[in-house]
Structure 1
Amino acid sequence: MSQSVNAVTSSAGVKRPYRKGNPLSDAEKQQAAVARKKLTHKELKVFVRNPIKDRLLVECEKEGITQAEYIERLLQKAFSHTDKE
């Protein structure tokens, strides 16, 4: 008799149970991430004209960073420039 007939694959076996409790939903993961960020960051809500927003998206994509990181860089440059004067 062939071994392939008697062989049991790992996918045929019973999966081991998840041991760390129930996994978080996507909304719960997002809430946890926001809560962690609030410890070291302040929220800033800004409205900008559509062409500026479109340009920001293009620049962020080009640099491979988030919009928040891009704006932080701009502000740091502006602050360091005014500190030197």
Structure 2
Amino acid sequence: MSQAANVETSSAKRAYRKGSPLSDSERKMRSVTRKRETHKPINVFIRNSHKDKLDEYCQENGLTQAEAIEQLIARELLSE
């Protein structure tokens, strides 16, 4: 690989790799900031029995709760 290619790739490295690593809170804040560009947060209260079933569903299907809820909403909207 030529030196010009090396210079390009080294300047494209993420900032935290060049210096000290980000703290957990800084890393989380950056992740949330990126996610807010394409997602909106919700905060809901559901019955304990429904939450238990959601947890089981997620575990069985290898999904996060957000993925499972998005799938359920999409499925409901498609059935209209």
Match of 1:73 in 2: 71
State the SS of the aligned residue for 1:75: helix
In percent, how many aligned pairs have the same letter?
Answer: 48
- For 1:59 and 1:26, locate their aligned partners in 2 and report how far apart those are by CA, in whole Å: 29
TM-score w.r.t. length of structure 2 = 0.76
Match of 2:62 in 1: 64
Length, aligned pairs only? 65
Unpaired runs of 5+ residues, structure 1, are 1-17
TM-score w.r.t. length of structure 1 = 0.71
1:1-85 equivalence runs, <5 A: 20-82=18-80
Task: Work out which of the two has the higher radius of gyration on C-alpha atoms and give 1 or 2.
Answer: 1
- For 1:24 and 1:51, locate their aligned partners in 2 and report how far apart those are by CA, in whole Å: 39
Offset, 1:22: 1.3
The structure-2 alpha-carbon separation of the partners of 1:51 and 1:19, relative to structure 1 and needing over 3 Å to count, comes to: closer
- Please identify runs of 4+ aligned residues in structure 1 that moved more than 6 A: none
Higher normalized helix content (fraction of residues): 2
Unpaired runs of 5+ residues, structure 2, are 1-15
